[in-house]
Structure 1
């Protein structure tokens, strides 16, 4: 919002408010509904399409990640498939005293991470089966799926529901949620993640957290499709 921007650029709120109003008027930024946050506007989307894809995703997703973290209080992240792994390309930290670590730039296995299982679920069957056939399903935590025959129906359920939850699968004590971002060909290209210690997340807010995340994922999908027209 205006306050956060004024603090970051060290300018008075009234000045920042006028600048944002000007940028909004020319379509450079757009105000998110029902909030004081801003996102990239339509006049910049065509320019974004010329930026390398990961940078494009980060730019599109950043305001939504900040909003999710502000609403939920836990870290949010942005992940992309990278061969037979998951690559984390962005992360917004929450303000809790006990936090997960910073994972930007790190890679995780598909079968045990929350974004990885989402990618596996939405991959074409041939790609998914190749992974399950050729890659060892190494145990990373107490609830990691290590048997392809048990993982397959779980992935089918993820695809049907349109989201993925994990608990004690990538690391004991870690819980996470992932929702998809699709391109104009309806192919999954990224995942929005929210995660935190399982003693706190999602707690009694599971339904609300899921609703907020799915809404953000749909909006990011729409923006990405607009930018690539």
Structure 2
């Protein structure tokens, strides 16, 4: 009896999070629209939403529901508990100011990349990414910089769990091709994203590796292909990123 109760409790918790994820994907939805996505009656789904609304995790606007700002409180707390965020955010912000582009800080958690910090320079382009967003690791420069410093078994686990979906025609979707690419990233110490996730966007990324040779995350600079050309893309930005990464790594060691 106890096992069945525990199983029901776990299922209820999972359904709660799935409802929140569905609301995030849809931006907003009615009870009827959500009923179509879940194997639940309208009354059961309404009970979930009413509870979430009462606790501030969901907001009701007329007949529609959307994710509430209380989740931002949890996310903000989680971010501030990340030591790398406190150490690297000022360096990443300065990187954006100096390059005039979009600078990013990403970490890996549960096989996905999570943006901890993003800073916009004066010429930075707007993208679909935001702080807290989870992205695949195989199709981003940041993700490749991290994967290149993980054991092959761990990379295999990540790919088994999340797959290698294509987001553009430049996305690597073959495992052996990815491993060959990651070997070059590891040797060169820099990952180049040539429109692998977003058409028209290039990215240069380097890993943040601590004193124990464990990768803590990665930083990058992103911009339009029109500005990320030749020497700037292949030499100037990589050198700048490696210099900033070196400062962050030293601060990780001695802070």
What's the TM-score, normalizing by structure 1? 0.71
Regions of 4+ moved over 4 Å: 51-54
Conserved? CA contact 2:168–2:197, under 8 Å = yes
Matching residue of 1:106: 133
The alignment status of 1:141 with 2:162, answered yes or no, reads no
The alignment status of 1:117 with 2:131, answered yes or no, reads no
Matching residue of 1:76: 103
Conserved? CA contact 1:181–1:188, under 8 Å = yes
Question: Across the two proteins, how many residue pairs are aligned to each other?
Answer: 177
1:143 deviates by: 0.2
Deviation by residue 1:2-37 (Cα, 9 ceiling, x = unmatched): xxxxxxxxxxxxxxxxxxxxxxxxxxxxxxxxxxxx
Structure 2 gap segments, 5+ residues each = 1-77
Partner SS state of residue 148, structure 2:
helix
Structure 1 residues 56 and 171: CA distance shift in structure 2, 3 A: same
User: More helix per residue: 1 or 2?
Assistant: 2
Counterparts of 1:98 and 1:111, CA distance in 2: 22
Counterparts of 1:132 and 1:102, CA distance in 2: 22
The alignment status of 1:86 with 2:113, answered yes or no, reads yes
The alignment status of 1:223 with 2:223, answered yes or no, reads no
Matching residue of 1:9: none
Conserved? CA contact 1:175–1:202, under 8 Å = no
Counterparts of 1:133 and 1:86, CA distance in 2: 16
Structure 1 residues 219 and 97: CA distance shift in structure 2, 3 A: closer
Instruction: Pick the aligned partner of 2:211 from 171, 178, 184.
Output: 184
C-alpha RMSD over aligned residues: 2.0
Matching residue of 2:223: 196
Question: Rg bigger for which structure?
Answer: 2
Structure 1 residues 174 and 223: CA distance shift in structure 2, 3 A: same
Structure of higher RCO (CA pairs closer than 8 Å, 6+ residues apart): 1
Counterparts of 1:170 and 1:81, CA distance in 2: 17
Instruction: Pick the aligned partner of 1:160 from 177, 184, 187.
Output: 187
What's the TM-score, normalizing by structure 2? 0.64
Structure 1 gap segments, 5+ residues each = 1-50
The more displaced of 135-144 and 52-61 is: 52-61
Conserved? CA contact 1:100–1:197, under 8 Å = no
Counterparts of 1:100 and 1:163, CA distance in 2: 22
Partner SS state of residue 122, structure 1:
coil
